[in-house]
Every structure is written in structure tokens, then in C-alpha cells.
Amino acid sequence: MEGPVAGARELAGLLGAPVFVEEPWPAPGRWEADLQAAGPMLAAARDAVAGGATTLVGSSCDIAITTLRAAAARHPGLRVAWLDAHPDFNTPASSGSGFLGGMPLAAACGVWDAGFDADAPLDPARVHLLGIRDVDAGERALLDAQGVSETAPADGPVWVHLDLDVLDPAHMPAAFPVPGGWDWERLGIELRALPDVVGIEITGCAPGYAGEVAQRLSPVIVRT
């Protein structure tokens, strides 16, 4: 799928941020092959965060497998604000689709082993899901068992994971669209309310939308 890759490159160019893309883009039913193929990209994303990068762009949420652990290692007490239509909290055992893109947050939290252990797992109790509206039954059981929050963090530092499919498809075309999402105003309100933002990773930018995304996110990018 070329759209997410092209959109990510467009946005990274406008933001002057490092970009991490997967080619081929991950697809249902091949999580093991996609994880292996993404290995060098995931290692590079981890190194970028460990080296001080505060704004990253990815073609998919898979970057979170390594970036969130690296951010937590850099910022003691880190909380993660996960803005996404999906929690991406499946494991290979719970996933009905075998799609790697539905598993990265669970991997970052150590719920399953993706093979990247340079940093300690992220504490799931320090993850805050915002804007999710499409949760698998297996994910719901895991989220409840792991104590993942569905309220905004009250303190920081905060690392933002922003998948732009948190927006309604009327505002942002998505690879896996889910109706009923936020509009741009709501996204801005939610982002500005987050305390002590120390970094942001952005995924899900559709081709041709990078200019609007960069403009809308400029207040957040400035303070990361």
C-alpha cells in the first residue's frame, strides 16, 4: 500500500522530522514476515528516540514497538497518550487477522515478545487511550487485564502517539477507516490539554494531507 508511505514522506519533509516507513506495507495474515522485514526500520526508530529525536513520522503504528520503550527509558515516569481509532493491543495469539499493525502497543508493553528488548517494557498502567472506537474482543480482555487507562493523563512527562485515523474519515482518509472520529478542532483541544509533552510520533497521514496536518500540529511540534 503506497498511500501511507507517500503520506509519511510528505509530512516528514514538511516537519523536518525523521521518517520510518515499511515497504512492503504490513498486511493482514503475515505478521511474522512483516515483523522480520520491519526489523531494521524499528531499530532505527528506536535509535532516533534514544538519540534525542522528539518528532517522528511513520508509515504505520508499528514504530511504537520500539519508540515507546526508548522514550520511557529517556524520560522516567513517562506516560503515553495513544490517540488512535484502534488500541493496537492485540497479540499474535489474540489477533483474528494476523495484522502486525494491530499489535504494536501490546508489544511495547511486553504483553508479547516482538524480539526488541534493548529497553524495558512500557508499564501499561501509564498508557492512556484517547479517541479509540474500534476494539476487538481479545483486545478488550487484554486492556482490562493490563490496567490500560482510557482517560487523559493528569501529569507528565507525556509522549504522544498520534495515528491520524483518530480523525473521522471525512477529515482524514485512512487505511482502516472507522466512522465517528474526531474533527480537527477536537484533536487540537485534546493535544493542547496534554501536560508536559516531550515528544510525538505521527502515523496515518494520507497523501495530499501533509500540509494541513503540519499546520494543525504546529503548536504541538513547537513544544516538543
Per-residue confidence band for 2, with pLDDT thresholds at 50, 70 and 90: low
Boundaries of every domain in the chain: 2-217
Per-residue model confidence (pLDDT) at position 156: 92
CB of 80 within 8 A of CB of 122?
Answer: yes
Instruction: Write out pLDDT tens, residues 77-129.
Output: 999 999 999 999 999 999 999 999 999 999 999 999 999 988 999 999 999 99
The whole model's pTM is what? 0.96
Please say if the pLDDT value at position 196 is more than 60.
yes
Q: Quick: pLDDT tens for 128-150.
A: 999 999 999 999 999 999 999 99
How is domain 2-217 classified at the CATH fold level?
Arginase; Chain A (3.40.800)
Q: Report the chain's mean pLDDT, rounded to a whole number.
A: 95
Is residue 103 classed exposed, middle or buried when 0-12, 13-18 and 19+ CB atoms within 10 A define those classes? buried
Other CB atoms within a 10 A radius of the CB of residue 182 amount to 20
Q: What pLDDT is attached to residue 224?
A: 47
CA distance 155 to 17: 26
196: number of CA atoms within 13 Å, CB side? 12
